[in-house]
A = this chain, B = another copy of it.
Amino acid sequence: MDAKPARPGYHHGDLRATLVAAALEMLEAGEPFSLRALARRAGVSTAAPYRHFADREELESALAVHGLRELMSDLAPGEPRPASAAELGEFAVGYVRFALRRPALFRLMFGQACDDRNDERVRASAALHDLLEGIMAEVFPASDPVVLATAGWSLAHGLAFLHLDGKLSSADPAAVDERVRSAVAAVFPPSSSP
């Protein structure tokens, strides 16, 4: 069942990366992970992970950073950012799709207060923030981009969580996409600069 990489020597070589990868795999598979399970999977004692992460929270922060970066590159694949209100809908669709594709990771990224002591995580979080505000400023040049970014992000975020938590059905992916599109369209009407 478990891949035991039969590490050659006493030292593992790259335990830290291995643990992160294993954790992502387990989350992907829908299993909740424990540090002990990760250690087992890496073929290492249960105490070893603590050489690389002070505690569970620090590992989770590493995972969150990974997730934030992935989300960013998902949403901003190059430079063609949304330029019209219509394209905003597709942006939101991307956000919600990410949440549904990686539910556990998404919860890790957003379902708890960000550990402020973790610079990398703080920066990754701020980067997402900035991306959103930048886009809103482009799409609605006449308006307050901070307020609109807050509204837009909240809308997408709310849609993501309500689907994730079963408050809105996510059984049919196409229906989800459509629900997101129409919600965004209802609220950011095409061709209006509020």
A-to-B contact residues, CB < 8 Å:
107, 110-114, 125, 129, 143-144, 147-148, 150-151, 153-159, 161-162, 165-168, 179, 182-184, 186-189, 194
Complex interface: chain B residues within 8 A of A168 (CB): 150
Of the residues B112, B147, B183, contact of A154 by C-beta under 8 Å: B183
Quick one: given A161-B158, A167-B125, are A151 and B183 in contact (CB under 8 Å)? yes
Interface centre among A110, A114, A150, A188 (most CB of B within 10 A): A150
A182 to B76, CA, bound (A): 27
Contacts of A157 in B (CB 8 A): 154, 157-158, 161-162
Distance between Cα atoms of A150 and B162 in the complex (Å): 9
A154 lies within 8 A of B150 (CB): no
The smallest beta-carbon distance between A170 and chain B, in angstroms, is 10
Q: Which residues of B contact A110 (CB under 8 A)?
A: 161-162, 165, 167
Copies in the complex: 2
A114, B158: Cβ atoms closer than 8 Å: no
Please indicate the chain B residues that have their CB under 8 angstroms from the CB of A144 in the complex. Answer: 182, 186
Q: Which of B125, B150, B179 contacts A179 (CB 8 A)?
A: B150
By the criterion CB–CB under 8 Å, are A186 and B148 in contact? yes
Task: Report the nearest B residue to A166, measured CB to CB.
Answer: B113
* Residues from chain B with Cβ under 8 Å of A167 in the complex: 110, 114, 125, 129
Please name 16 pairs of A and B residues whose Cβ atoms are closer than 8 Å in the assembled complex, sorted by A: A110-B165, A111-B161, A114-B165, A144-B182, A147-B179, A148-B186, A150-B159, A150-B183, A151-B155, A151-B187, A157-B158, A157-B161, A157-B162, A158-B158, A158-B159, A158-B161
A111, A112, A155, A184 pick with most chain B CB within 10 angstroms: A155
Chain B positions within 8 Å of A165 at CB level: 110-114
Which chain B residues border A143 with CB–CB below 8 Å?
186
